[in-house]
Amino acid sequence: MAQPVLGFSKKTKEEKIAWLVTNYLHNDTAALTTLKTYWNDDTALQNLHDDFIENTITNYYLPFGIAPNFLINEKLFALPMVIEESSVVAAAGNAAKFWLDKGGFTAEVISTTKNGQIHLNFYGENDHIHDFFDHVKPELIASIDALQKNMKKRGGGLIDLKLVDATQQLKGYYQIHATFETLDAMGANFINSCLETIAKRVEELGAQHQHFIATNSYPEVVMSILSNYVPECTVRAQVSCPVEKLANNGMDGATFARKFERAVAIANTEPRRAVTHNKGIMNGIDALILATGNDFRAIEAGVHAYAARDGHYKSLTNASVENDIFTFWIEVPLALGTVGGLTNLHPMVKLAFDMLQRPNAKELMQIVAVAGLAQNFAALRSLVTVGIQKGHMKMHLMNILNQFDASKSEKEKATAHFQEHAVSHASVVSYLEELRK
């Protein structure tokens, strides 16, 4: 049985790998070779990646693909997408092409306000904490003058502080709810630094406040942290065209629009469907978020909370048909950064931004929302016409063939064969075995 290890982070990379191989990989030299195969030959580049996290032992590749032909607000984009799921980039490309001659996508940012909270305990009189807050609010704001000097110069910074009484939900629970504009930065570090500074000042000023002293009841800071729930940082993307132009896969436009609208209505009604529906949207969103070095966990958490904002988990997209015009749109919260974090560090992220013609955060919000909408369009389009497996299985076939080191000619033969036959792991393996006899 492996023993706990002390001072692991202080070991060199080679020592960490040796420890791992001895303790968990049965001294397997093949494992060692695999780990080292993924090292980059360029030592400086490898060191850069090593330093992103603690205890890096190797790199983990994900495909970086391109989905071209995205017409967004009348400008053509090729979207960089990082994703492991075989059909996602193909689906994005198909949706982009479908809308290319129908006016493309339009997108607009609705708002860009981010937020964070200082979570407080206070068991004294409600009036006392309100009086205190009103009295010290200017000083609390002044406490972050130095921190927000540069952000303010660029037009951002703290917007407001509000005291929230949440004692109905949890005894003694108050918040200082802070709102921020962080411009092109995702803003997590900025917001958290501001909150921690303000929180410290709350405790200092609280200790001197007469009401608190008189009653021996002081506000206590539990924690200070930004919120990844950003319903005031949202973007809307849309496609629209006459119904007759929607005819595809042998289905007329009106039938397609009716079934498509129904599919969205089902996702708005049935959470079991909504989760899968929104998962498909996140296929597109996450791929862009990863390519641009943003935090996909933050986006995921915020988006799903938004999908449940009415107390019922539902679709992030909506569809309507009015006067024979089909409209399909998405509204999502996306707190994104185009400066700071990995954006200035990771060479592939820099390249992704170059490919996107160096968008600012608002433009990136629009592009990412479009990627989500496009992905949902592609999924629903398949689902209500030919079914999802046709496209999925084409890519799945390639993965199985690669797993068995199929040659170029074997791949060609298998692709032709499986146009007429159902793809399954077993059927592909037996086809290859037959071929190789």
- Residues marked active site are found at 85, 279, 295, 392
Nearer to ligand MEV, 51 or 85 (CB): 85
DSSP class of residue 193 equals H
Q: What beta strand segments (E) does 199-277 contain?
A: 220-226, 234-242
Burial class (CB in 10 A: 0-12, 13-18, 19+), 395: middle
The least distance separating ligand MEV from the CB of residue 351, rounded to whole angstroms, comes to 26
User: Closest CB to ligand MEV belongs to which residue?
Assistant: 280
List residues near ligand MEV by CB under 6 A.
85, 276-277, 279-280, 283, 379, 388
What is the distance between the alpha carbons of residues 395 and 195, in angstroms, rounded to a whole number? Answer: 47
The least distance separating ligand MEV from the CB of residue 156, rounded to whole angstroms, comes to 36
The least distance separating ligand MEV from the CB of residue 281, rounded to whole angstroms, comes to 8
For residues 349 and 291, is the Cβ–Cβ distance under 8 A?
Answer: yes
For residues 375 and 281, is the Cβ–Cβ distance under 8 A?
Answer: yes
Which residues lie closer than 8 Å to 343 by C-beta, 6 or more apart?
292, 293, 294, 337, 349, 350, 353
Instruction: Give 80's strand partners.
Output: 66
What is the distance between the alpha carbons of residues 32 and 186, in angstroms, rounded to a whole number? Answer: 38
Compute the C-alpha angle 313/319/322, nearest 5°.
145
CA-CA distances (angstroms) from residue 409 to 78, 210, 277, 426? 31, 85, 37, 20
The least distance separating ligand MEV from the CB of residue 378, rounded to whole angstroms, comes to 8
C-beta atoms surrounding 4 within 10 Å: 5
What is the distance between the alpha carbons of residues 387 and 216, in angstroms, rounded to a whole number? Answer: 67
The least distance separating ligand MEV from the CB of residue 85, rounded to whole angstroms, comes to 6
The least distance separating ligand MEV from the CB of residue 379, rounded to whole angstroms, comes to 4
Nearer to ligand MEV, 148 or 283 (CB): 283
**Token pair 């107390």: residue:** 311
Nearer to ligand MEV, 236 or 392 (CB): 392
CA-CA distances (angstroms) from residue 394 to 78, 212, 306, 389, 417? 23, 69, 34, 8, 11
Which residues lie closer than 8 Å to 103 by C-beta, 6 or more apart?
71, 239, 240, 241
In angstroms, the first-to-last Cα distance of the chain is 45
Burial class (CB in 10 A: 0-12, 13-18, 19+), 349: buried
What is the distance between the alpha carbons of residues 141 and 205, in angstroms, rounded to a whole number? Answer: 13
